[in-house]
Amino acid sequence: MVEIVLALLAGAALTAGPLLWSARRAAGTARAATRRATEADNRAQGAEARARTAETRAREGEEHARSADARAHAAEARHTLAEARLAAAVREFTHLAHERLPAAATALTHPRTPVPGPLDTTGGNEELHRALDAVLGAALRAALAERERTDAAARAALRGAASKIQALLIQVRSLLEEIQLSVDDPRLLALDFRNELTLRRVQSLAVLSGSWPGMTREDSPLAELCVGAQSRVAGYARIEITNHLREPRLAVAARAAEPVAIALAEILGNATAYSHPETRVVVAIEQGSSGALVVVDDMGVGMEPDQLERAGDLLDGQAEVLLTELGDPPQAGFAVIGLLCRQFGFGCRVEPSPYGGVRAILRLPADLLTLTDPAAPLSALAPRPITQGAPVFDAGDALPTRKRRTPRVPQQDAPSPRTQRQDAPSPLPAPAGTTPDRARSAWSALQSGTAAGRSAADQPASPQGPAAPEGVETP
Amino acid sequence: MTTPPRRRLVPAYLATHGRTAAAGTRPLDRLSVLHAAADLPAGLGGEHRQLWELVRPGALTLAEAAAHLRLPVSATVFIAADLAERGALSVRAPIPSAQPVNRDLAERLLSGLRALK
């Protein structure tokens, strides 16, 4: 039995051996299948992920394409705009080169020239306009600097020439003056006049070129300065100077004497040049409370308001004076006066004259005024103050002298010289003697007495008694 | 003491008033003698009055008057001629200088007169 069992067992074992092996084999196969399935599954998942990624990429690519398209459109628009701006800029630059710059350059010498602005004034292109203005500014600055340099060179050349000519003409003047004392030919006087006219021209050029007026003087009586200025003007015979000074020895201090004479000569030159040759030029020398005035009136055509304004600028010394700005032919008068005013401290202004032309007023402040030595005689050709008596020459003296014989009447309106000379009474008793001085005072006392007597006889009922002679205030 | 001569400020040619020749037809000389003849006419300048007042007390030659006015003779001629033309000044021709006596002729005359006795 045992053997059977054993045999059975052995048989079973023999049978079970292959069974076992095949079972093992089946299990191995199953495991491999499972493994493969897992792998396939993994692969499927990977493929899915890749597919999703590819999809995402595709969408991204699409978006990229769309944005690139938009960018291309935008770039095209910008390009068009840039082209338009470039064209506008080119137009502006052409306009700047052909219109604005030349006009601005002209405006440097002719301030009233209109200077056009940029073509496009709507704004929105400030950067371009700033750049254009910078170009314009730089060009003008360069032009101004160059003009200054050229002008300075011209002034220097002029200064040298003018001072030489001036020195020679002053020598000619001295010689002529000397010859006039020994030779009586009136042509010498005419020659002297021409020389003086030339000298004045050269002097004004010298002043413009920035040099010293070229002549030193002592303290000079204002009346003589006015007549001296008159003598330097072509139409001097038309100029009538009336002297209203209270103090006949009122003089201009040495430092300003010649400059004042030059300035007055320029004023008188303008007045005679711009008025009809048949008309007078009226000059009044006045003594104010804080200085002296010389008032020049002409009866010419007058000046336009803008000319008056420009003249005012030149006279104030505000406007810069360049030789190139004086026009052609150069009109130097006001520029010369303005320069002298600024340098020497007197003033001048022009305004429409009640006579119809131009009135020029030269103001001399008190610090430029002084009194001359009474021993130095005034020139016979200088006008005497009309508030004084007639000029007196004492034939007995070696040199003629002036004497005041009547005290000045304060606040007296200037009467006409004729009235004053005939009617001014002398409060002094007439001394004996035959000098013109004494004869005159005696004669005027007699005259005023007669006048007073006659007017008293004409008006017997007048309660005031005898009327005072004309031209004198009753005390 | 004298002050140094001042630089000329007022030139003498102003007396001409722009004319090239003096008024009147008779030329005036340095030694023409001027008298005040009538009152000063109106409408003349200060220099005319000065010359007229200068000669009023008596008479002056033109050269003397010019020296008093401190003007050259050539300029004073213009002033004097203006006054003469208006009758305010009378002008006398210069006094001719005296001729020296011919001594020889005088001696012959004297001896002739003596011989008449």
Instruction: Specify the 3-state DSSP secondary structure of A369.
Output: strand
Q: Of A438-447, A458-467, B11-20, where does the model show the most confidence?
A: B11-20
Q: Is B63 on the interface with A (CB under 8 A)?
A: no
Contact call for A189 and B74, based on CB within 8 A: yes
Provide the pLDDT for residue A413: 44
Q: What is the domain partition of chain A in residue ranges?
A: 20-104, 216-371, 391-454
- CA of A222: which chain B residue's CA is closest? B9
Q: Is B34 on the interface with A (CB under 8 A)?
A: no
Confidence label for A416 from pLDDT (cuts 50, 70 and 90) = very low
Provide the pLDDT for residue A54: 94
Provide the pLDDT for residue A47: 94
How many other CB atoms sit within 10 Å of the CB of residue A319?
17
- Write the residue in A190, A373, A395 that is nearest to B3 by C-beta: A373
Confidence label for A457 from pLDDT (cuts 50, 70 and 90) = low
Confidence label for A171 from pLDDT (cuts 50, 70 and 90) = very high
Residue B61 distance to chain A (closest CA, Å): 13
- Mean local confidence (pLDDT), A69-78: 95
Provide the pLDDT for residue B4: 46
- Write the residue in B21, B46, B70 that is nearest to A186 by C-beta: B21
A371-402 confidence digits (pLDDT tens): 988 888 888 898 888 865 444 444 444 444 45
- Fold of the CATH domain A216-371: Heat Shock Protein 90 (3.30.565)
Contact call for B54 and A193, based on CB within 8 A: no
- Mean local confidence (pLDDT), A7-23: 74
Angstrom distance (rounded) from CA A76 to CA A74: 5
Contact call for A189 and B13, based on CB within 8 A: yes
Q: What is the pLDDT along chain B (117 residues), one digit of tens a residue?
A: 444 455 688 999 999 998 888 888 778 888 888 888 888 888 888 899 999 999 988 889 999 999 999 999 999 999 999 999 888 888 888 777 777 788 899 999 999 999 987
- Answer yes or no: is pLDDT of A31 > 50: yes
Confidence label for A164 from pLDDT (cuts 50, 70 and 90) = very high
Q: What is the domain partition of chain B in residue ranges?
A: 13-116
Provide the pLDDT for residue A1: 63
A280-312 confidence digits (pLDDT tens): 999 999 998 889 999 999 998 888 888 888 888
If you count them, how many residues does chain A have?
Answer: 475
- Answer yes or no: is pLDDT of A202 > 60: yes
Among residues A437, A423, A430, A388, the alpha carbon closest in space to that of A409 is found at A388
Q: Rounded to the nearest 5 degrees, what angle is found at the Cα of A200, between the Cα atoms of A197 and A201?
A: 90
Give the percent of chain A with pLDDT over 70: 77
Provide the pLDDT for residue B6: 57
Average pLDDT score, chain A: 81
A172-195 confidence digits (pLDDT tens): 999 999 999 999 899 999 999 999
- Write the residue in B8, B42, B69 that is nearest to A177 by C-beta: B8
- Write the residue in B57, B58, B69 that is nearest to A380 by C-beta: B69
Q: Are A125 and A85 in contact (CB under 8 A)?
A: yes
Bond into B4 cis (ω within 30): no
Q: What is the pTM of this model?
A: 0.65
Residue B48 distance to chain A (closest CA, Å): 9
The residue ranking higher by pLDDT, A201 or A446, is A201
Residue A380 distance to chain B (closest CA, Å): 6
Q: Are A308 and A281 in contact (CB under 8 A)?
A: no
Residue A352 distance to chain B (closest CA, Å): 28
**Per the structure block, which two tokens stand in for A163?**
């001072």
Provide the pLDDT for residue A428: 41
- Answer yes or no: is pLDDT of A406 > 60: no
A137-152 confidence digits (pLDDT tens): 999 999 989 988 988 8
Q: Is B11 on the interface with A (CB under 8 A)?
A: yes
How many other CB atoms sit within 10 Å of the CB of residue A431?
10
Provide the pLDDT for residue B112: 93
Confidence label for A252 from pLDDT (cuts 50, 70 and 90) = very high
Q: Which region among A198-207, A454-463, B31-40 has the lowest average model confidence (pLDDT)?
A: A454-463
Contact call for A379 and B9, based on CB within 8 A: yes
Residue B100 distance to chain A (closest CA, Å): 28
Contact call for A231 and B54, based on CB within 8 A: no
Confidence label for A42 from pLDDT (cuts 50, 70 and 90) = very high
